Chains A and B, each alone.
Chain A
Amino acid sequence: MANQIIEAHQEQTSTISRVNVPPAQTWNYLRINDLSFEVPTPHFVGDVYARLPRMFEGVECGIGDEAATWIVRASGDARFVEVKAGEQREQPIYVDIDASATEVRDTGVLVRTGASATIVTCAHGCEGDTSASLLRVVAERDARVTIIELVACGSGQQHLDAIGIDAAEGARIDMRQYALGGSRVALGLACSLAGTGARFALDSRYLASGRDVLDVNHVVRQRGRVTRSDIVTTGILADAARKTMRETIDLVHGAKGAEGSEIETVLVTGDEVVNKTLPVILCDEEDVAGNHGASIGAISPEQLGFLSSRGLSDDVAERLFARALFDDALIHADVAEARQAVLARATEVLGIDVARDIAEVLDIDFEEASC
């Protein structure tokens, strides 16, 4: 009887609205301000779970309070990792999210003064309902943090992935974000450059195809003096994929000498794609510089002509761009499990021969796996 009640609870779903809401919104009819998700309702049967230290509660993570709260409630035990002051940690901190098992992860990493660490998160799988990850990072003074975020879910998967970062004086955050699959994916990211001279560099890459929905919200709050942010986003949209990219640089009052830059390049290869972009610069300070550039379009006739003269058809050329994305993800995925997840996704998108070839070129063991 008790089991039946639990199963009934598990089947219940609820709607998380206002996912990925940017700090500054615009006309509602454009349907660019937020997204909603239907998710399983977390249920509790008296278990007590480990939670992160309270210091992580104030870390903004871009995906929205409602979604973050759901992840925390649905995740079971939270995982807390502390990198001690001055420690140069070589082994990456790995967060594995098995989407097939509908896993939900809540992780907090505290990188103490002068320490360095690499964090790799990888969501992967083929089928299943909803998976999610919430990673919050506090980087103390002069800390160095590298974050690799991989979402390599299959076409039947829904996934929410949120990252929140607080960077103190002199801290440096280098991040690479890869959205390689998933039928409905929300990526939320917020970075607070609170300390003087803190820096954030993000290289975000995505591929959305079929009828995939990819929804991204990047928020950088530059609060400290002489802070610097550089966001570079490149992506490929194919078939009838729908993508929304929100990028906000918030130059907060008092952030004298701060500079923020965001650049997005989108390659559109499908006739039915929907490509929405909201690049926002908020400026409440005089002595700052904010820049944004975006370029959206197909491969130019000149580029196609050049490739054609070397025997590459339009289709092959477009697949080359997709392959380059997987190459890059594999080069930076520092963990063997993450590499296999990327290869599995490459197999699904590009075919087993291409996936095997990528593995061979990069000298990675290829374990045949696909959805």
Chain B
Amino acid sequence: MADATDTSRKRSQVADVDRSLYDFKYSEEGYERYADGLSTDIVRAISEKKDEPEWMLQLRLKALATYEEMEMPDNWGPSIEMLDLNHISTYVSPQTKQANSWDDVPEDIKNTFERLGIPEAERESLAGVGAQYDSEIVYHNMREEVADQGVVYTTIEDALHDPELEPLVHQYFGTLIPMRDHKFAALHYAVWSGGSFVYVPEGVTLPYPLQSYFRLNAQGAGQFEHTLIIVEPGADLHFIEGCSAPKYYEANLHAGAVELFVKDHARLRYSTIENWSKNMFNLNTKRATVGADSQMEWVSGSFGSHVSYLYPTTFLQGARSSCEFTGITFAGATQDLDTGCKVILNGPDTTASVDTKSISKDGGINTFRSSVVVGRHADRARATVSCASLMLDDISRSDTIPAMDVRNGSASVGHEATIGRISDDTILYLMSRGCSEGEARTMVVNGFADPVSKELPMEYAIEMNNLIKLEMEGAIG
């Protein structure tokens, strides 16, 4: 009896401590919040508030019309029936100016990011940090020595007001993700706010990563940040993206967009740990185009959200360019996560490697969805896709839906998928060595996730392992 009580207390402590890391919220009092729903007036108001050039306003209005015209596909994907745009505010802003010192950030917002460990990470291992709270960036800073190399790390809004950067934004913004890509891409372009603009000049290698963290505090709101990164020839960048939100009982929406331009002989690693709350509809779009002899690396951990549609896409345009996608998705109770990736191999001698893991438990639904398309001119292209799914109980679900379209006779494409459970023998073996059943299962799941976690920066790998532990602790007993 005493043991049971202790165990229960321990579980409770773990759950309480860890969830509080993400599940705290502050009052919106004094915040600027636009009316729920979507209208031309709201779109114009966002544009006006940002004092944008006319071309951006026109792009927003065109996107709004496109959004209203497009439908969601009715033959695939999780249901978003519970997402009602009439009850979502597309713009919520704390009444504060963007700061480049944490001391200038309002106390409640500063506390939020302190609890998430962002300032500490900035001091220890980052070249620059951007922090977005609801619809606006509240903090942005970059190390001086990195700025001295000509690296630009700022917000899209600031770039649009910089005479030198505005033409660059105009040249690249919205060119990789067309607004007709899907309904929520159109929505994004209509109401986007916040995000990052990164420009890495030719030949520059950043010694530390840049990181943007997106926090959605407001209830019944949407976050629509746009990230635009240009890595010039011979440059090298690691960009980290983190996101979280407290849990509410009404729907929140995340429909961001990430456009990545990796020029010749360049390298970009884009790491994401997504831990949105379980009332979030995550309909995010990420896309990269890669030049000759260049590398694009995605590392993606998806733990949160109620519904996810997330498929980072890579166009391997240049000869000998390569793409690696390493991802893990953990779907628990009430979650329906449809994640994966798309790779389009267009250049000769291009290579793509996709390695994903998914874990389903407590009735969670995981769908791994991918496409590998080898174009007509992709001579000798090679691609491998590997996806492994682990089912932790018999009320969950795990589907793998990988598509391949090969149009070049010299290309080589391989695919393997496995779905299974933790064998009883493994659990028994670990228990015979003194582990409890719960510990044994957690160990196996951590081992399963290890190929992904070792690709993450240390603090994110720890966070991911904590998330797994948290989810597993909740499952035992």
Contacts and interface: CB of A to CB of B under 8 A. Distances in A.
B73 A28 contact: yes
Interface string A279-317: 111111111111111111110000000000000000000
B417 A281 contact: yes
A292 B403 contact: no
Interface in B404-422: 404-421
Interface residues of B, number: 38
Contact of B419 (A33, A251, A274): A251
A292 B418 CA distance: 7
A26 B394 contact: no
Interface-central residue, B371, B389, B399, B415, by most chain A CB under 10 Å: B399
A25 B415 contact: no
A33 B405 CA distance: 12
B400 A25 contact: no
A371 to B, nearest CB: 26
A273 B76 contact: no
B401 interface: yes
A6 interface: no
Nearest to A246: B403
Nearest to A248: B401
A41 interface: no
A18 to B, nearest CB: 10
B404 A296 contact: yes
Nearest to A256: B394
A296 B414 contact: yes
A360 B28 CA distance: 86
Contacts of B410: 297-298
Interface in A19-60: 24-28, 30, 32-33
A201 interface: no
B405 A283 contact: no
B403 A290 contact: no
Contacts of B407: 272-275
B397 A283 contact: yes
A30 B371 CA distance: 9
B399 A281 contact: yes
A28 B371 CA distance: 12
B158 to A, nearest CB: 35
A25 B403 CA distance: 10
A294 B414 CA distance: 5
A28 to B, nearest CB: 6
B76 A24 contact: yes
B404 A276 contact: yes
Contacts of A283: 389, 391, 397-399, 419
Contact of B76 (A25, A253, A288): A25
Contacts of A175: none
Q: How large is the interface on A (under 10, 10 to 19, 20 to 34, 35 or more residues)?
A: 35 or more
A286 B394 contact: yes
B226 interface: no
Given A27-B76, A296-B414, A278 B403 contact: yes
Contacts of A272: 376, 407
B371 A286 contact: no
A24 B417 CA distance: 16
A297 B419 contact: no
Contact of A270 (B76, B405, B409, B417): B409
Contacts of B112: none
Given A293-B415, A294-B415, A296-B411, A286 B401 contact: no
B255 interface: no
Contacts of B404: 275-278, 294, 296
B394 A287 contact: yes
Contact of B418 (A256, A284, A290): A290
Given A27-B371, A283-B389, A297 B418 contact: no
Interface in B78-131: none
Contacts of B417: 279, 281, 290-293
Contacts of A233: none
Contacts of A107: none
A274 B406 CA distance: 6
A83 B460 CA distance: 64
B402 interface: yes
Given A286-B393, A296-B411, A26 B401 contact: yes
B396 interface: yes
B369 interface: yes
Contacts of B411: 268, 296-297
Given A27-B371, A279-B415, A253 B394 contact: yes
Contact of B409 (A26, A285, A293, A298): A298
A296 B408 CA distance: 10
Contacts of B403: 26-27, 30, 32, 276-278
A329 to B, nearest CB: 24
A269 interface: yes
Contacts of B369: 26-27
A363 interface: no
Interface of A: 24-28, 30, 32-33, 251, 253, 256, 266, 268-298
10 contacts: A27-B403, A271-B408, A273-B406, A276-B404, A281-B400, A283-B397, A289-B419, A292-B417, A294-B404, A296-B406
- Shortest beta-carbon contacts, A-B, top 3: A297-B412, A286-B394, A294-B415
Given A293-B416, A294-B415, 8 more contacts: A26-B369, A269-B409, A271-B408, A275-B406, A276-B405, A283-B398, A289-B420, A298-B412
